[in-house]
Amino acid sequence: MALGNLLQTLPPLPTMLVGSYVQPDWLIDRHALSRRAPPRVPAPDLWCVPPAQFEAAADDATLLAIDEQERIGLDVIGDGEIRRESYSCTFVAALGGIDSQHSGTAVDRRGKSAPVPRVVGPITWTRSVLAHDVALLRSRTSRPIKITLPGPFTLSQLAEDHVYDSPGALAMAFAEAVNAEVRALHAAGADIVQLDEPYLEARRDAAHEYAMAAVTRALAGAAGATALHLCFGYGPIDRGHSKSGRYALLPELERTPVDIVSLEAAQPGVDAAVLRDLPSKLILWGCLDLGTTQVDTQEVVLQRIRAAINVAGAQQVMLGPDCGMKYLPRAVAEAKLRVLVSCARIARG
């Protein structure tokens, strides 16, 4: 079993990113990026590099992120989502059925209208856009590697649909495409493939209705370890919005085939007792508060780690930041991760 093999190569309490890392200033206009909601459709105006040079520049920036994670000492290495304007837009823009000329509109989790993909034909998957980053990872590091992509429920919430009978049907259509990508990414050598589903907590009623069927479909027949990330939004850009800290869907997630559940926990102060709802899952526990540029102290991070271990057991817990680190200053992101790595070593005893 792929998960078992993976766990054997990892130390207890392995450390990793959730998804995004800090993109270099010479690649993307970070100031402009931080002043808007995460782009749901590609936003080429954000990039600093002209299209002819973009792929090589994005490759170099990704290699830098990979090298930095290794230097910091993370056990599982991700691509840092360096070549993406947002966690979701790159994948969805490559799908068939999406209008590449005109975007639609939808209301995001903050209640604001934003451009979103416009579904004008049946959703189809033709080729992987993320396998390239898996190949970069595989060639650059010998550590286990993780790649992320948007989950089907979140995709269905951030689209303007002109084709399907219901949002549930749209979610299932996205699930087919996500499933094809998941398989391609494992085949390309990814050790963990993670679905990002932040809207499970933003749209709970809809999630109760049709999210789990979509998630299950998206993960069907996965040949390697799978993960699912949920959270209450990006710390630095959702600072003004209170985070409830209460997860509503964990018992339902327990019944899906996902191996690892990644949970934001530090910033909203989630009680580790919620892990009792996920007895069969590995937990990627959010130990770094990304809502502040203050570097988390060792004392506080150790408390967070031990709280998770006390409920779920040391064998079941993995350690990461709360969410993507895209919006943090570079030095802050590095410093926070270094605290995480040193606390993991202490907690291993």
Partner 1 sequence: MLQLPALATAMVGSYPQPEWLIDRASLGKRLPPRVRAAEIWRVPGPLLQGAQDDATRLAIRDQELAGLDIIGDGEMRRESYSNAFANSLGGIDHDNPGTALDRTGKPNSVPRVIGPIVRHTSTLVDEARFLRQCTARPTKITLPGPFTLAQQAQNDFYVNPRELALAYADAVNVEIRELHAAGIDIVQIDEPYLQARPEQAAEFGLEAVNRAVRGVAGMTALHICFGYAHVHNYAAKPNGYSFLPELEASTVDILSIEAAQPQLDLSILRRLPSRRIMLGVISLGDLNVESPDTVARRIDAALVHVPAERLLAAPDCGLKYVSGEIAMGKLRAMVDGVALVRGRRR
Binding site for partner 1 (CB under 8 A): 24-27, 48-49, 53, 56-57, 60-61, 63-64, 67
Token pair for 233: 């939004």
- The smaller minimum CB distance to partner 1, of residues 25 and 271, is found at 25
Q: Is 156 exposed, middle or buried (0-12, 13-18, 19+ CB in 10 A)?
A: buried
Write the CA distances from 91 to 95, 182, 305, 310, 319, integer angstroms: 7, 12, 33, 37, 26
- Min dist CB 130 to partner 1, Å, is 21
108: left (phi over 0), alpha (psi -120 to 50) or beta: beta
What is the dihedral angle through the alpha carbons of 172, 325, 102, 170, rounded to the nearest 10 degrees?
10
Task: Pick between residue 33 and residue 195 the one whose CB is nearest to partner 1.
Answer: 33
Q: How many CB atoms lie within 10 A of CB 102?
A: 10
Q: Return the number of the residue (135 or 248) whose C-beta is nearest partner 1.
A: 135
Nearer to partner 1, 10 or 48 (CB): 48
| CA pair distance 239, 291, nearest whole angstrom | 6
User: Could you tell me the smallest distance in angstroms from the CB atom of residue 22 to partner 1?
Assistant: 11
Nearer Cβ to partner 1 (61/230) = 61
- Is the separation of the CB atoms in 102 and 118 below 8 Å? yes
Please state the closest distance from residue 144 (CB atom) to partner 1, in A. Answer: 19
Dist. CA 192–CA 25, nearest whole Å: 28
**How far from chain centre, in Å, is Cα 213?**
20
Specify burial of residue 169 (Cβ count, 10 A radius: 0-12, 13-18, 19+).
Answer: middle
- Contact yes or no for 62/79 (Cβ under 8 A): yes
Q: How far is the CB of 117 from partner 1 (least distance, A)?
A: 28
In sequence order, the β-bridge partners of residue 124 are: 96
CB 260 within 8 A of CB 219: no
Judged by beta carbon, residue 63 or residue 120, the one nearer partner 1 is 63
Question: CB 140 → partner 1: shortest distance, Å?
Answer: 9
Q: For partner 1, which is the closer residue by CB, 32 or 187? A: 32
Q: Which helix (H) or strand (E) holds 147?
A: strand 145-150
The nearer residue to partner 1, 64 or 206, going by C-beta atoms, is: 64
CB of 48 or CB of 314, closer to partner 1: 48
Q: How far is the CB of 323 from partner 1 (least distance, A)?
A: 24
Distance of CA 240 to the CA centre of its chain: 22
Shortest Cβ 21–partner 1 spacing (Å)? 13
- Taking the complex as a whole, the smallest distance from the CB of residue 208 to partner 1 amounts, in Å, to 45
Q: How far is the CB of 139 from partner 1 (least distance, A)?
A: 10
